[in-house]
Amino acid sequence: MQASLVRVMLLQLITVYLAHPDRLCGASSIVNRVRSILSGAILTGAALSLAGCGALNRGFLFPAGPIAGAIRHEWIVVCFIMLFVIGPVLLLVPLVAWHYRLSNTRSAYRPQWGFSWSLEGLIWIPPSAIVVILAAFLWRDTHRLDPYKRLPGHALEIQAIAADWKWIFIYPEQGIASVNRLVIPAGRPVHLSLTSATVMQSILMPRLAGQIYAMAGMRTQLSLQADRSGRFLGENVQFNGMGFQNEKFAVDAMDGAEYAHWLAEMHAEPDRLGATEYETLTRRTTLPHPLAFGAVEPDLFDHVVMLAQKSGHALEVEKLPALPLPMAVSRDVPHDQGMPP
Amino acid sequence: MTGPTITGFLLGSLSWGALPFVRAWREPNISEIIGAGAGSIVVIGAVVTIALITWLQAWEYLWTQWFTSLDHKKIGIMYIVIALVMLSRALIEAVLIRSQQAAAINGPGFVEPGHFAQLFSTHGSIMIFFMAMPFLTGMVNYVVPLQIGARDMAFPYLNSVGLWLTAGGSGLMMASLVVGEFSTGGWSGYPPYTELNFSGGPGPDYWIWAITLASIGSTTAGINIACTIYKFRAPGMTFLRMPLFCWTAVCTAILMIFAMPPLTVATALLAADRYLGTHFFTDDLGGNMMNYVNLFWLFGHPEVYIVVLPSFGVYSEVVSAFSSKELYGYKSLVIATMAIGVLSFTVWLHHFFTMGQSADINAVFGIATMAIAIPTGVKIYDWIFTMFRGEVRFTPPMVLSLAFMVTFVLGGFTGVILATPPLNYMVHNTLFVVAHFHNMLIPGTLYGLLAGYMYWFPKAFGFRLNERLGWISAGCWITGFYLAFFPLYVLGASGMARRTHEVFDPAFRPWLYVALFGAFVLFTALVTLFVQLFVSIRDRHANMVAVGDPWDARGLEWSVAAPPPEWNFAVIPQVESRDAFYWRKRNREAYKPVDHYQDIELPKPSACGVIVGLSAAACGFGLVWRIWWLVALFGAVVVATVIIRSFLRDVTRTIPAAEVEAFDRRWLAQAHYAKPVSRQREMSRRNEGLAEWTA
Amino acid sequence: MDSVGPQLRHAGLNLEDDPRESRHQVESDVFGFWIFLMSDAVIFALLFALYGTMLGARAGGPGPADEFKIGSAFVETLILLTSSFTFGMTSLCLKRDHKPQRLTLWLALTLLLGLAFLGMEIHDFVTMVSHGATASRSAFLSGFFVLVGVHGLHVTFGSLWILVMVAQVATLGRDAKVKINLIRLSLFWHFLDVIWVAIFSVVYLQGLIVPGGGS
């Protein structure tokens, strides 16, 4: 909503700019044309500002957890403070340019005037003061919302491994694993440990928590929490190849009973996530639907972090055992394309 | 393809499948056909250009007067020609990117993921390295020696080498359309994705060598510009009397000198990983891609200011000239420029707040980033106060400058949002970031370069550009920008990832449509720019400004004929104050003959720059395709050319005093008979390049 | 700027009777080369920093204590320092305007030392590679080979440059451009020496002090 309003304001301002040359030189036909285009654009903008809420409710401006909520609050604070910075410029540029136009013979003209100490003070000191205020907020909130910082309460531990092009979520305490679906209990903090089986990726759950990179051989962390049950979007936002656009997963926040039910269902799943299954999973493929594993090899995540566990993408495809996993193999740049040994 | 076969030796890893035409024949889908079409455009364009030049019998003229020229003005113009050609390609790619996303809502769209990834990678790489950089280098090349009262750059031969290295790099970019494919790793080429394990094809190699040529070219340009400004200012042209464009040029040059090496190191080590099997940025055996990310942004952030500062210089010149008023707060602007230059090296980490470093580190870099907003804001106010109590004329460059001030402040607004780490966690890697940096770079770089192009064009070619088409073009650049990028802010805040080939949320549809429409408006702006050039050349006889001062402007560059003679100044001017030419006009000292004309020594044209630049590109092509004999051959050509050139002594020629005098007297006579034009009528045919001096 | 600039103090630049403008050109030619060296120094600074971060990234492969031969590195240091001295003598010859043969002799001696340094370095590298300590063994060895190798490439380039200068002195005599080139070459050669001193301290001596490496 806010961005759209700003845009409508801006378009009006530009109409003002473009009106100037017209009056100077009498090229009215162009300006009329430009004006009609602009008014059309303004109408479209206004219409879109209504539609915009439909998109923005996918993002952190409609938070579903305390982290996203706090970030939204900080967003509003920063936007408010910044109004004092952009406001004067947005007003002064058109006003000054228009008032001192060449054809306005009543405006003052001082061609040799080029310095004033009081104006210097005005343009250096208040912006510096605003930056100091913003810096204070920034320091506080960066520490408060550090993604590594644990939320109050007993957190659920989940380990996330970024593969091409899917996410593997291991629940070490429960001994289960879920691929491309993250189920969390609503109202309880969650602590994610992340690593990558492949290139760098970045996890983002827009309505719950900000992002953090997952990198091979390293472990990063992210705290999050959902306030209520519901289904939210999770995605990788760091480009990592041809299946990148499909690397999305559902985050299902469930209330207590529902979550317990899901756990019981998971434990009943027959498949076990071991080394061979992991190698198959980490091939460069996309999945048509999420997978569930009722058991997980202990310390799988740690092995991946220590690079002690081979990833499928590094193996020759022929050497991999055939597994009854539903893998949709998608197109990729062949490894051997045009390369002499 | 492998083994000691003769084709393997001759062609390395090249095969028929590398040609997009063959790929489109084998697999005729729309994505491959677009690829083949783009390749055909390059081939047909090259053939048509060569045929046209041959038909016009212009080879000798182009070779002797342009390609081999060491004249800073011609080199500057050639840089800008490269920039405009590459701008056209990258803008068409932008339209394709926006079309794909608008078409691919719950569907595959019309280009394949690999093709789409190449589109955004080439778009970014070209816009930064082969549009913005050549454009600004060309402009600095053209304008700075004229502004500081010099006859040429400090190193004319090095200047030519830099130009042709950039041309060679552009050639490699173009070659990737016809032979093989380009990188899919984006303009930043993050490993390990760009390592052999994940990108085995020639794409990242094209990226590496094209960028390497461009960055070496830029390093030489930086050395040249800095040395010119430090050592070749006219007598009396103290630092604090230089036009502000020179200040921004010297600051950009310093940034180039210190910021290009990290890029060179990053790309060279990535090449070492790919060619020699080292482990700098690989996943295994101790490699660490975080080193690459640091190196890249250690270059990448100063790079932002390398491309933005010259435009700030242009705005300073344009706003002052078209407000008919002294630049407000000159010293303030100088201090702000240098402060931005220094601060630009202290903020690189804000490109990866999300890599898991401590809150302390993130906060420090976030605050440093916001601190840059202070000098930048000061500059905006300085330009506003320059208009204050002035007489503002809304010429196309001025319209672009005003649009810049408003738009850039909005970009600064979202910049502060991105500089705040917690907010950054939410919008990093989304379209919000894409919208933000386009919001900085389109007004902050492109508008400025276009404003400078329109402002100095009459100086370079002796006739004005058509203002009416200039306004249409500027209007399209401005509205197109808002339409194309403000929707992306909304989409980014809604969590839409950047670089995504397919969109799965229908709610994003209206925004993507508006953005696509904006892309078309921007494309119209580009077309209008070329139409303006065409119409202006057609009507040039009616719009001559040969006397050389069409805007009643202030710097020394306006004190000579338009176009200026090869030697720039009949005699090196003595500078008494800031805005030297302005005061000379007011004191009735302008357009006076010189007491005593002297012989002038100028560098002779040299083919060495062309040979070095194009051989280096051939070398790069050999490296991409592992054709080792090509690498060895052209590597040897580069070294041999440099050595042979160092033995040559007959490298200057002398313009006799009589020729200088004849030119100067002819020009003075023109100035004598010209009718001064008032500011009200400067955009009419009465403008002969002699301004009426009122106050 | 108006008055004739400060007297040129670059060793060897006896460019008397030159017009002011060409002296100006000399000043800027040497100044431009200093700027280039600054840019080059940034490259080395970054390679040193990378080497520092990769000191512990050995991936089970050999470390400094296993592979570095301090004796050989020390001899290489002495050779390179001596070559700096001989180049200093070249500069003095240039300034004192001795016979051309003497200048060429000192240049040739510098070249010989440069080649000896390169020979030893290549020998060290070959020995390491024969142990299996190649650049592709671990990130630490990648960092080592690239840092020391880039310096070696600079020495190779400098040696080629000396060769070219010997040829120029022989064919063109000592005109202004040859003198400027010799001044720039001397800056380059001494710069390489300084970088080597840093390599000797950071790579070889540090490897000696901390047998276990950085981490």
Residue A165, preceding bond cis, omega within 30 degrees?
yes
Calpha distance A160→A179 (Å, rounded) = 9
Can you give the length of chain B in residues? 695
Residue of A nearest to B469 (CA): A30
- Is the confidence at residue B4, as pLDDT, over 90? no
Tell me how far apart the alpha carbons of residues C195 and C206 are, in angstroms, rounded to a whole number: 15
pLDDT category at B201 given cuts 50, 70, 90 is: confident
Whether residue A247 sits in one domain with residue A287: yes
B151 touches chain C (CB under 8 A): no
Number of structural domains found in chain A: 3
Band (pLDDT 50/70/90 cuts) for residue B20 is confident
Q: How far is CA A145 from the centre of its chain?
A: 15
Whole-number Å distance between alpha carbons of C47 and C35: 19
Residues A180, A302 within the same domain: yes
User: Which residue from B minimizes the CA distance to A77?
Assistant: B417
**Average pLDDT over every residue of B106-110:** 90
> Averaged over B407-427, what is the pLDDT?
96
Distance CA(B403)–CA(B520), nearest Å, equals: 19
Number of domains in chain B: 1
Residue B15's pLDDT band (cuts 50, 70, 90): confident
The structural domains of chain C, with segments of one domain joined by +, span 20-209
Nearest to B537 by CA among B467, B465, B595, B587: B465
Q: Dig out the tokens for A295 from the structure.
A: 């058991």
According to DSSP, the β-strands at A156-163 and A190-196 are: parallel
Nearest-angstrom CA–CA distance, B371 and B382: 18
B-chain residues near C171 (CB < 8 A): 647
**What is the sign of the dihedral through the CA atoms of C143, C146, C152 and C157?**
negative
Residues of chain B contacting residue C35, judged by C-beta atoms under 8 Å apart: 223, 226-227, 257
Which residues in chain C are closer than 8 Å to B233, comparing Cβ atoms? 1
Which is more confident, B528 or B19? Answer: B528
Alpha helices by DSSP H, listed for B190-288, are 203-231, 244-276
- Across residues B266-279, what is the average pLDDT? 96
pLDDT in tens, B335-373: 999 999 999 999 999 999 999 999 999 999 999 999 999
Burial label for C131, CB within 10 Å (0-12, 13-18, 19+), is exposed
Let me know if residue A302 belongs to a domain: yes
In terms of CA atoms, which chain B residue is nearest residue A246?
A: B502
Q: Is residue A323 part of a domain?
A: no
Q: Are A223 and A190 in contact (CB under 8 A)?
A: yes
A52 and A68 assigned to the same domain: no
**A44 and A134 part of one domain:** no
| Closest Cβ opposite residue B278 in set C21, C24, C146 | C146
**Average pLDDT for B612-631:** 96
| Lowest-confidence pick of A50-59, A314-323, B43-52, B650-659 | A314-323
Nearest to A99 by CA among B218, B255, B389: B389
Q: Could you tell me which residue, A42 or B230, shows the higher pLDDT?
A: B230
- What's the burial of B539, exposed, middle or buried (CB within 10 Å: 0-12/13-18/19+)? middle
pLDDT band at C23 (very low <50, low <70, confident <90, very high): low
Angle (CA) A139-A142-A143 rounded to 5° is: 85
pLDDT at B2: 47
Q: What is the mean pLDDT of residues B664-673?
A: 95
In sequence order, what are the residues at sequence separation of 6 or more whose Cβ sits closer than 8 angstroms to the Cβ of residue C203?
A: C51, C64, C68, C144, C147, C148
The answer to whether A27 contacts chain B (CB < 8 Å) is: yes
User: According to the model, what pLDDT value does residue A36 have?
Assistant: 58
pLDDT at A38: 56
Query: Who wins on pLDDT, B9 or C25?
Result: B9
Provide φ and ψ at C12, rounded to 5°.
Answer: 90, -10
Sheet hosting strand A166-171, strand order edge to edge: A220-224, A190-196, A156-163, A166-171, A176-179, A291-293
Per the model's pLDDT, the better-predicted residue between C116 and A313 turns out to be C116
B-chain CB neighbours of C37 within 8 Å are none
Q: Is residue B568 part of a domain?
A: no
- Burial class, B625, CB count within 10 angstroms (exposed 0-12 / middle 13-18 / buried 19+): buried
Q: pLDDT digits over B505-543, tens only?
A: 999 999 999 999 999 999 999 999 999 999 999 999 999
CA distance C210 to A18: 69
The predicted structure's pLDDT at residue C101: 87
Is it the case that residue C209 has pLDDT exceeding 90?
A: no
Among the listed residues B307, B408, B302, the one whose alpha carbon sits nearest the alpha carbon of residue B351: B302
Query: Residue A313 and residue B117: Cβ atoms within 8 Å?
Result: no
Write out residues 571-600 of B within 8 Å (CB-CB) of C.
574
B30 band by pLDDT with thresholds 50, 70 and 90: confident
Domain assignment of residue A150, yes or no: no
The DSSP secondary structure of A124-188, one letter per residue, reads: HHHHHHHHHHHHHHHHHHHHHT-TTSPPSS-PEEEEEEEETTEEEEEETTTTEEEESEEEEETTS
B 187-226: CB under 8 A from C? 219, 222-224, 226
pTM, entire model: 0.92
Q: Tell whether A329 is covered by a domain.
A: no
Q: What is the mean pLDDT of residues B50-64?
A: 94
Q: What pLDDT is attached to residue C11?
A: 47
Alpha-carbon distance values, C159 to B191, B423, C154, C156, C162 (Å): 35, 54, 9, 5, 5
Peptide bond into B506 cis (omega under 30): no
Residue B632: CB atoms within 10 Å: 12
d(CA B114, CA B597): 63
Query: Using an 8 Å Cβ cutoff, are B395 and A168 in contact?
Result: no
Domain span including residue B247:
58-544
| Subunit contact C35:B258, Cβ cutoff 8 A | no
Residue B565 sits at the chain C interface (C-beta within 8 Å): no
Lowest mean pLDDT among B201-210, B528-537, C23-32: C23-32
Which tokens is A74 given?
Answer: 């900080």
Give the span between the Cα atoms of A244 and A166, in whole angstroms.
9
* Cβ pair B285:C43 closer than 8 A: no
A42, A80: one domain:
no
Q: Region B306-322: what's the mean pLDDT?
A: 97
Q: Does B29 map to a domain?
A: no
C-alpha distances out from residue A69 to A23, B288, B318, B570, Å: 50, 34, 45, 69
**Residue A234 to chain B, least CA–CA distance (Å):** 9
Quote the tokens at residue C20: 């002011």
Residue A233 tokens read as 């979007």
Q: Are residues A96 and A234 in the same domain?
A: no
Give the chain C residue whose CA is nearest to the CA of B151: C21
**Does residue B91 carry a pLDDT above 70?**
yes
| Interface residue C50 vs chain B (CB under 8 A) | yes
**Could you give the count of Cα atoms lying within 13 Å of C71 in the half-sphere of its Cβ?**
0
Return the residue in A78, A89, A161, A235 with the most chain B beta carbons within 10 A, the one to mutate for interface testing: A89
Kindly report the CATH number assigned to the domain that includes residue B137. Answer: 1.20.210.10
Based on the fold, state whether residues A300 and A187 are members of the same structural domain. Answer: yes
Cα B232 to Cα A64: distance, rounded to the nearest angstrom:
63
Give residue C162's identity as a one-letter amino acid code: I
Contacts of C37 (CB under 8 A, 6+ apart): C187, C188, C191
Query: Which residues make beta-bridge pairs with B653?
Result: B602
> Positive or negative, the Cα torsion across B52, B54, B59, B60?
negative
DSSP A226-292: -SS-EEEEEEE-S--STTGGG-EEEEEEE-HHHHHHHHHHHHT---EE-HHHHHHHTSS-B-SS-EE
Residue A9: its pLDDT value, please? 44
CB < 8 Å to B235, chain C: 1-2
Cα–Cα distance list, A277 to A283, A290, A296, A308, B283 (Å): 10, 15, 10, 15, 21
Domain residue limits at A183: 156-314
Q: Which residues contact C187 (CB under 8 A, 6 or more apart)?
A: C30, C33, C34, C37
Same domain membership, residue A5 and residue A69: no
Phi, psi values for residue B109, rounded to 5°: 70, -150
Range with the lowest mean pLDDT among A318-322, B49-53, C61-65? A318-322
CA pair distance B588, B532, nearest whole angstrom: 36
Tens digit of each residue's pLDDT (9 = 90 or more) over B277-296: 999 999 989 999 999 999 99
| CA–CA separation, A1 and A14 (whole Å) | 20
B189: left (phi over 0), alpha (psi -120 to 50) or beta: left
Q: Of the segments B337-351, C22-36, C95-109, which one has the largest average pLDDT value?
A: B337-351
The CATH fold assigned to C20-209 is Four Helix Bundle (Hemerythrin (Met), subunit A) (1.20.120)
H/E stretch holding A223 reads strand A220-224
pLDDT at residue B12 in the model: 83
Q: Is residue A328 part of a domain?
A: no
Averages of pLDDT over runs of 10 residues in chain A (341 residues) are: 44 41 41 55 57 80 96 95 94 96 92 93 94 96 95 96 96 96 97 96 96 96 96 96 94 96 96 92 90 95 92 60 47 36 28
- Mean pLDDT across chain B: 95
Of B82-96, B351-365, C141-155, C201-215, give the lowest mean pLDDT range: C201-215
Residue B195 in this model has a pLDDT that exceeds 70: yes
Q: What are the residue ranges of helices labelled H in B575-627?
A: 580-586, 608-624
Confidence of residue C194 (pLDDT cuts 50, 70, 90): very high
Residue B29: pLDDT band by 50, 70, 90 thresholds? confident
Beta bridge partners of A223: A191
Cα–Cα dist A266/B36, whole Å: 50
* ipTM of the complex model: 0.94
